[in-house]
Amino acid sequence: MAICMPSAGDLFPHIFNLINSNIGVGLLAMPYCFHECGILLTAIILLLMSVATYFSCVLILKTTHQLKCDSLERAAFKSHGVAGKRIVDLCVIGLLFGMLVGLNVAISDLGSEIFDTLYGGKASLTVRRSVLLFTIFIVLPFCCLRRVVFLSTSSFLAVFLYVTFLLNLLCNYAIPKMQSKQFTFGYFRLWRPQGLVHCVPIIASSVCCQVQVNSIYSSLRNPSVTKMKKILISAVTFIFSCYLF
């Protein structure tokens, strides 16, 4: 009997979902990290965090697969009892709460800045609240979907917008700046360890996708560890490339 191997196209929706769950606000914070730590040091830290993210995701995946659990919380309950489950619950809640706070702050600030650019003037508190509420009402229906695979189209559009944003920065700012006569390599800061305290948490959270591993794995048509590894490699590599360039 012939065995049908999954094509790469079957994994694309899950890859885009995993990419979209991590990349985003980190694109705006990464230039700050390169400025504070230097280009070379930030690239090394980003590479180390990406590798650590991949292996930690594989470890979580193997643990839940061996214990036959669909979530990290249930795996912690089977392996360490009620105390282990509570610790994992608190860690996941704290991580997700911090991400939500950072996302809402970024949307409120950046969204109001967009209105400032388009219409002029200074954004008031009412404008910031309106932008935040508008975003919440847009995001909330997506959060109510039971299957993550249904988000693949919106994730693809979001990733397309991220890539367009990066290309716009390169073409309209970076390349003209490097071609100007006033440009010198003295503008580049290669190594500055003093900024690690501020930037390591930002870089680590920008590539953090451990929480989404089991959700993506459960949404696969025929779940397997091999498939999930391919998804992780593709997603983490894409995220690393976007942050690096």
231 lies in some domain: yes
> How many angstroms separate the CA atoms of 16 and 25, rounded?
16
Written as tens digits, the pLDDT of the chain (245 aa) is 344 445 556 788 888 888 888 887 777 778 888 888 888 999 999 999 999 999 999 998 888 888 888 888 888 898 888 998 999 899 888 888 887 777 777 677 766 666 666 666 666 777 777 777 877 787 777 777 767 777 788 888 888 888 888 888 788 877 777 777 777 766 677 888 888 888 888 888 888 888 888 888 888 888 888 889 999 999 999 999 888 87
Rg of the chain over Cα atoms, rounded to whole angstroms, equals 20
129 lies in some domain: yes
Q: Which domain holds residue 164?
A: 34-173+190-244
13 lies in some domain: no
Does this model's pTM top 0.85? My answer is no
Structural domain count, the chain: 1
179 lies in some domain: no
23 lies in some domain: no
203 lies in some domain: yes
